[in-house]
A and B are shown apart, each in its own frame.
Chain A
């Protein structure tokens, strides 16, 4: 039943695609989180009105399909501006901003969850804004935000399946390449799906565990 023409070489080929998926995810989540924290703090600090332009731009990233963002960014940078960049760069750039757009919301939610009297108390104890942010707000906000952030990171990993459109050969694309040659679509897709599942499931469960543990005290 499990006869397959899949060779060791093909498995390595898939592994390379999986490596690409993980790399794109890691880069985008890292840059996106840093940007997301900056945007989130900025939005909270200057108030809804002044942050409106930023809010609007971030909202655009959450209201247009990632596939279209990728095609459009690629067409704009390479065809209109004629800047020579690799598909990987475009993919990471778009995914980073996409991550940042969601992350900013999570960060803002986290900061808002910290009770104001607590922060006033911190400031009246003589803490500077920076000290208040790093020693009071950050630890508390992280507790609120981390489970959603884990969900976001996993979402980005799954969404990275779309970067094939800018010629990046990641896991799903390498699976399709093998399907074309070996014509065993179901078997190969199962392997591919299983890979995503194996990475995503334990981390998602861990996120759920944190959420449960931290909400009880």
Chain B
């Protein structure tokens, strides 16, 4: 008798569905928004002299938290670890320059684009490569799991010659390029310019714009969290509408027109 009550209690405890609160409610009631941000990706994410996170994505996370009325907590992540950290529940959203590929949308939920990158061909000066076609048959590399990496790997397969190397983070890619271990890489224009400008990587230069569709990046959260996705879509719209988007662009990327987030001829 006693044991059956216990068993019933156990069943009740395990089956009891939590109240219908969704992630949006959870974040607001917890008072903390945990964002996964990639911090080796200047100007989108990097660290200042005190090793505190800074960058476009960090500010974007702070803005999102402010809009929700909560405090932001930036959780550093690497490119390959972005989605796993979301799936494992250690972060609420990924503000990590995540390209909105269809393959990813099978697993996670994407907002509309909040930024769009142009990609640049960056080469080791020793390699003598001057344009995109020059990469054919050479040793090329990019950060594992990124839009550029997937594109480059496809290219290498298409050429049937050369070698593709996926490094674990952006810094290792530029380090390998600077040492001459790689002949070329494709990387987002903003990131390439910021890294070349630091002068930390001698012997590398940007030679051309890569001929690929702009890399539209989205905020990411769990697929079933429509409440939060809806909120974030409106938030992105408001960022552009209020001029905050342009402001952040000037602050982190530089003078000029921020990337257009709409595509002519189609909704969303």
Contacts and interface: CB of A to CB of B under 8 A. Distances in A.
Question: A and B: direct contact (Cβ < 8 Å)?
Answer: yes
Contact of A9 (B50, B75, B90): B50
A181 B51 contact: yes
A74 B249 CA distance: 36
A124 interface: no
A167 interface: yes
Interface residues of A, number: 24
Contacts of A176: 169, 171
Interface in A152-198: 165, 167, 169, 176-183, 185
Interface in B68-121: 75-77, 81, 84-85, 87-90
Interface of A: 7, 9-10, 13, 74-75, 78-79, 82, 84, 86-87, 165, 167, 169, 176-183, 185
Given A9-B51, A13-B51, A167-B77, A180 B90 contact: no
Contacts of A9: 49-51
B171 A87 contact: no
A176 B168 CA distance: 11
B205 interface: no
B198 A180 contact: no
B88 A79 contact: yes
Interface stretch (B39-47, B126-134, B211-219): B39-47
A179 B168 CA distance: 13
B200 interface: yes
Instruction: Please classify how large the interface on chain B is, using the bins under 10, 10 to 19, 20 to 34, 35 or more.
Output: 20 to 34
Contacts of A86: 90
B144 interface: no
Nearest to A13: B51
A72 to B, nearest CB: 11
A180 B171 contact: yes
Contact of B171 (A10, A167, A169, A183): A183
B175 interface: yes
A82 B198 contact: no
A177 B39 contact: yes
Contact of B39 (A10, A82, A180): A180
